[in-house]
Structure 1
Amino acid sequence: MDQLNLRHLYYFWMISREGSIARASEVLELAPQTLSGQLATFESSLGGLLFQRERRKLILTDLGRTVLGYAEEIFTLAGELNETLRLAPSDRPLTLSAGVSASIHKLIAYYLLQPAMVLPRQIQLNCQTGGPEDLLLRLKRKELDIVLIDRMPSVNERGSFAVHALAGSTISLFASPVLARRLRKGFPASLNGEPLLANATDAPYFEKLMNWFSLQGVRMNLVARIDDSALIKVFGRQGLGVFAAPTAISEEVCRQYEVEQIASIDDVKDELFAITRGKNPAHDGVRAICQGDVSFQPIQRTSK
């Protein structure tokens, strides 16, 4: 092999990332037969198979794993170079497409994104919420510049992305003033049998909270599952149950929804991560979020 065919290498890389020729052909907008032929040509030039087919699945061979390792480095660097070139000229507003897991509290998401919004260069933010799996797929397809999630990605996911740990928070319990004052006495045993408002978006911290209740011998009465963090707090304000939220925004939650904090639970934490395609993002906004010193201060409102 006198010269490596980078287009063939790219096709192989996309097939590996997507997991099948059919899915890769959709992303590349090529016919599956064409892509299969290009793969066969590439394998012929290398003198060996890159995949083995087992029950309609493509399994990397030893040669395939070796080639994939180099391909990951080549195209990750190429992607970062492309993003760097895309940023010029510097006087243009910089578009930032961010994906935020639906289970992250909206106030927390605001604080995490804020470092990008206060840069000297103007940022045009396109923010979308959704499930972690869908957001990571869109990041891989370069539809998003960064994804904010509240769980550590799986081993397979971490192989495709760079993970940046962000500022997290312990979790607190809140309720209407009358209910909160009653439940502070004898906490946490006082929670037994009390109504609980749950987050329906599978927030990881909620499972940790349930485990903590179990360890404390506490059994609450689940009265509602709600996938909107603001609506949970409205229910809580009306005295319909106890709800959980990050301690970092407790002052804002209490002020905005006229509730009171029952207690902060140090053993239950809301962990937050920024996911990017490369370890050293070229995008100024992405870099600001990953490196930002987040300060969870109450939002200042100007008088009308």
Structure 2
Amino acid sequence: MKTTGLNFRHLYFFWVVAKEGGVTRAAERLGLAVQTISSQLALLEQAVGKSLLAPQGRRLVPTEAGRMALGYADQIFLLGEQLQDALIETDAEKMRLTVGISDSLPKLIAYRLLEATRTLPVQVKLACYEHEFESLLADLAMHKLDVVLTDRSVRAGASLRVFSHLLGESAMKLFGVAALAERYRDGFPGSLNGAPLLLPTRNNALRGRIDEWLVQHGVRPDVVGEFEDNAMLNTFGRNGLGLFFAPAALESDIKEQFNAELVGDVPELREQFYAISAERKIKHPAVEAILATVHKGLFAVASRD
């Protein structure tokens, strides 16, 4: 078997120096002599045949080659930490589930989906990361994540080998704080002309359907805010900046947590929820638990709305 000849101890020293911005701080962090760090950095640069760090003022910063090496080092040492955690959890009879959560997915939906993992006989340790959809797919393809929870499927012909699993869908409802709900409830949806409305940004899977619904009903609200992050949108809605859409499946939670009231039902407007995996068949027991229970609970009710 061919080996790279790369000394990972040297690579680790480079990684720490790049993160700390200098050899002295890296040596303090590692409890080693400055000369030790410097000599092993030199050996690494000699092995790869490129300069990886360059002075910039009082700091050392990665060169172009160094930035590339740093990206790989980030992945290598992150996986190393995850390996250690996984081995420890194996001894403790725990199961780890690393989940990517799309920033457009309602956080209450994410919680309801992950709640299904509590039904397993073994304790599940969740590691949840929120990011943009495309970034999460890249991490999934590199096996940094076990599953991605999101509100959209992977488009046909995508270059990444990942697979969409429809969990369910929910009709939508429009909510607002008491004063706004009382003002715009009568005559809904015609009452929405000029109403302050909070919407997801146009790269959100739901936004196009909302715009189409508004056109179909001939109403022109005042869009006072657009948000990529669903939690931020709901926060502004809770504080009375405008009306906001939310899944019917979450109606009781929206009323309780956001002190919001129902303005109107929008049954023809539906939001879908997906689990994205790196394999065509789900094999992780915790993800299987989500798939097995979700249709009997949250979405089984919402789909009839």
Q: TM class by shorter-chain length? A: 0.5 to 0.7
In structure 2, what is the equivalent of residue 127 of structure 1? Answer: 128
Q: 1:125 to 1:187 in 2, by over 3 A?
A: same
1:227 deviates by 4.0
In structure 1, what is the equivalent of residue 194 of structure 2? Answer: 193
Cα distance in 1 for residues equivalent to 2:97 and 2:142? 15
8 A contact 2:204–2:228 mirrored in 1:
no
In structure 1, what is the equivalent of residue 14 of structure 2? Answer: none
Cα distance in 1 for residues equivalent to 2:203 and 2:160? 24
Deviates more, 1:192-201 or 1:251-260: 192-201
Equivalences for residues 171-210 of structure 1 within 5 A: 171-200=172-201, 202-210=203-211
In structure 1, what is the equivalent of residue 261 of structure 2? Answer: 260
8 A contact 1:172–1:261 mirrored in 2:
yes
8 A contact 2:172–2:248 mirrored in 1:
yes
In structure 2, what is the equivalent of residue 296 of structure 1? Answer: 298
Q: 1:238 to 1:123 in 2, by over 3 A?
A: closer
Q: Which amino acid aligns with 1:286?
A: V
Cα distance in 1 for residues equivalent to 2:155 and 2:298? 28
SS in 1 for 2:255: helix
In structure 1, what is the equivalent of residue 118 of structure 2? Answer: 117
CA RMSD of aligned residues (A): 3.0
In structure 1, what is the equivalent of residue 52 of structure 2? Answer: none
8 A contact 1:101–1:150 mirrored in 2:
yes
Q: 1:186 to 1:111 in 2, by over 3 A?
A: same
Number of residue-to-residue matches in the alignment: 218
Q: 1:235 to 1:251 in 2, by over 3 A?
A: same
SS in 2 for 1:255: helix
Does 2:97 align with 1:96?
Answer: yes
In structure 2, what is the equivalent of residue 285 of structure 1? Answer: 286
1:159 deviates by 6.9
Cα distance in 2 for residues equivalent to 1:105 and 1:291? 21
Equivalences for residues 1-304 of structure 1 within 5 A: 92-157=93-158, 160-200=161-201, 202-294=203-295, 295-296=297-298
1:199 deviates by 2.5
Cα distance in 2 for residues equivalent to 1:277 and 1:128? 17
8 A contact 1:91–1:121 mirrored in 2:
no
Q: 1:177 to 1:253 in 2, by over 3 A?
A: same
Cα distance in 2 for residues equivalent to 1:233 and 1:102? 12
Q: TM-score, with normalisation over the residues of structure 1?
A: 0.64
Deviations 1:93-120 (A, max 9, x none): 1111110110000000111111123311
1:157 deviates by 3.1
8 A contact 1:205–1:270 mirrored in 2:
yes
What 5-or-longer segments of structure 1 have no aligned partner? 6-30, 32-85, 298-304
Q: Which amino acid aligns with 2:223?
A: L
Deviates more, 1:280-289 or 1:119-128: 280-289
What 5-or-longer segments of structure 2 have no aligned partner? 2-47, 49-86, 300-305
Q: Which amino acid aligns with 1:233?
A: N
Q: Which amino acid aligns with 2:184?
A: L
Q: 1:206 to 1:232 in 2, by over 3 A?
A: same
1:258 deviates by 1.2
8 A contact 2:138–2:160 mirrored in 1:
no
1:238 deviates by 3.8
Cα distance in 2 for residues equivalent to 1:257 and 1:148? 23
SS in 1 for 2:167: strand
8 A contact 2:148–2:276 mirrored in 1:
yes
Cα distance in 1 for residues equivalent to 2:205 and 2:212? 11
Q: Which amino acid aligns with 1:166?
A: L
8 A contact 2:103–2:230 mirrored in 1:
no
